Amino acid sequence: MIVAIDGPSGAGKSTVAKAVAKKIGFSCLDTGAMYRSIAYLACKEGISLDDEAALTKLAQSVDISFGHVEGDPIPRSVFINGEDVTTAIRTAQIDKAVSPVSATPGVREALLECQRRIGHAGDYVVEGRDIGTVVFPDAEVKVFLTASDEERAHRRVRQNADRGIGSIDYEEVLADIRRRDTVDSSRACAPLKQAEDAIHMDTTALYIEEVIEQICALARGEA
Ligand code: DC
């Protein structure tokens, strides 16, 4: 079974996806981390972010994997070609580089295959931008999470401060969130948009626990 959670940056997808997966005993797949890993490697290898052919070749040839602590189905780390990039993919540099990388059709095609292979291997909560529309259009549960731009920027600043990585300047983070929303929603290939059969939840004024409970109820067929 697939629970698809889509929405813009900072809407609470990661927190919600992990908590839901834990409660209903599913694994969890963060597809944004996969795009971030490709962006990280492209920057490291000096690949130009407008070189579609080189980015595509990179995405087709890399090995992305997730590290688990024994007994916990929620991944704790991300590896690309064996290198632990868990924190390296969360910097402001990667926040910027990931937009052109994720707008590259060849990159999306390569990761799509990989995401489907992982998701079909078990019960997964999958979070991203195009999970309910493109990657798993037949997902049993589809949720589209949103929140106001300002609330999302506040959350991202708090998260970056807790992690000790990324910008903690509210105005900079707000501008970056708006920039990424525009790029993610206007790209030609698999843009960020709500699937017709997805349930929309605005998390601006909702307690995260309420959102988690509602999605768990949907997954259990109780709602
Ligand atoms: O969820 P995130 O902020 O970590 O995602 C990083 C970037 O990857 C984001 O700018 C949009 C892109 N992305 C995407 O295009 N499709 C997905 N399924 C997941 C993320």
Query: 3-state SS of 149-161?
Result: HHHHHHHHHHHHH
Express each pLDDT in 48-66 by its tens digit: 999 999 999 999 999 999 9
223, pLDDT greater than 80 = no
Q: In this structure, are residues 79 and 65 in contact, taking their beta carbons and an 8 Å threshold? A: yes
- Residue in 167, 178, 8 with CA at minimum distance from that of residue 91: 167
Q: Report how far ligand 1's centroid is from the alpha carbon of 35 (Å).
A: 6
Q: Of all residues in the chain, what percent carry a pLDDT higher than 90?
A: 83
Range with the poorest average pLDDT among 22-26, 69-73, 99-103: 69-73
Express each pLDDT in 133-187 by its tens digit: 999 999 999 999 999 999 999 999 998 899 888 889 999 999 999 998 998 899 8
Range with the poorest average pLDDT among 64-73, 96-105, 130-139: 64-73
Q: Answer whether 184 contacts ligand 1 (Cβ < 6 A).
A: yes
Q: Report how far ligand 1's centroid is from the alpha carbon of 71 (Å).
A: 28
Residue bearing the bigger pLDDT, 37 or 72: 37
Residue listed under structure tokens 């999970």: 131
Task: Report yes or no on whether pTM surpasses 0.85.
Answer: yes
Pocket test for ligand 1, best of 16, 30, 35 (most atoms within 8 A of CB): 35
Provide the edge-to-edge strand list for the sheet that holds 77-80.
64-67, 77-80, 83-84
pLDDT of res. 71: 82
- What band does 220 get if pLDDT is binned at 50, 70 and 90? very high
Q: Answer whether 129 contacts ligand 1 (Cβ < 6 A).
A: yes
DSSP states of 174-207 as a string? HHHHHHHHHHHHH-SSS-S---TTPEEEE-SSS-
Q: In this structure, are residues 213 and 207 in contact, taking their beta carbons and an 8 Å threshold? A: no
pLDDT of res. 77: 96
What integer best gives the mean pLDDT of the chain? 94
